[in-house]
Amino acid sequence: FYANDAIFGLIAYNYANLDGSYAITREKLVNLIMKNKLSYKLGDNLIEGWTYYGNSIDPDLTGAALSALAPYKDTNSDVKKSINNVVNSLAVLEDENGYVPGPYGISSESLSFVNIGLAAVGVNPEAGNFKKSKGDLVAALVSFKGTNGQYKHALDGKNDPLATEQALRAFISLKNFKTSGIYNYYSSS
């Protein structure tokens, strides 16, 4: 079992609006996600989030976790507290240009998922603690723009289909966030 199994499982569960009696329940998935959260000190700051491996959080998986947990923040006090701590952690990790480095460095996909996750929990990625001296999370994502409307994985890279798809999801999330104040790309009606 890996944290991403539970995170993407819960995203699928939420999106499909599954009801009924299943061996794997939403509650079990939420509990697995919460149990596998990584916490550590960085200077005076407590950093919380999720990772694929290692001892530092991965902003990509952490953004996905925010999206997965978003529907439960108003009904589960532990989830709400965790979301608040994770949002604060992402703001601490964000550099002055708006980039949030992860174990693999800086990538557009990570920024896309951070923007998607923040929109899902109703946090503006262009304001507050995310507005840095030289940029914010949205400006950082835009800096990965390639040619012909596509996006790059790395700043010095080439157009990348996955990076482009994830950037599109992020921009859809941000557009809807601006009109409603909250938007979870991975929810459905």
What pLDDT is recorded for position 1?
A: 63
Q: What is the DSSP string of 3-71?
A: HHHHHHHHHHHHHHT--S--SS-HHHHHHHHHHT-EEEEETTEEEEE--SSSSS--HHHHHHHHHHHGG
- pTM, two decimals, is 0.96
Length of the chain: 189
**Phi, psi angles (nearest 5°) of residue 47:** -105, 130
Over its length of 189 residues, how does the chain's per-residue pLDDT go in tens digits?
688 999 999 999 999 988 777 888 999 999 999 999 999 999 999 999 999 888 899 999 999 999 999 999 999 999 999 999 999 999 999 999 999 999 889 999 999 999 999 999 999 999 999 999 999 999 999 999 999 999 999 999 999 999 999 999 999 999 999 999 999 999 886
CA angle, 142 then 148 then 151, to 5°:
35
Burial class of 174 by CB neighbour count within 10 A (0 to 12, 13 to 18, 19+): buried
Question: Residue with structure tokens 């990625």?
Answer: 125
What pLDDT is recorded for position 104?
A: 86
What pLDDT is recorded for position 83?
A: 98
Which residues are CB-neighbours of 121 under 8 A, at least 6 positions away? 66, 69, 70, 73, 83, 87, 182
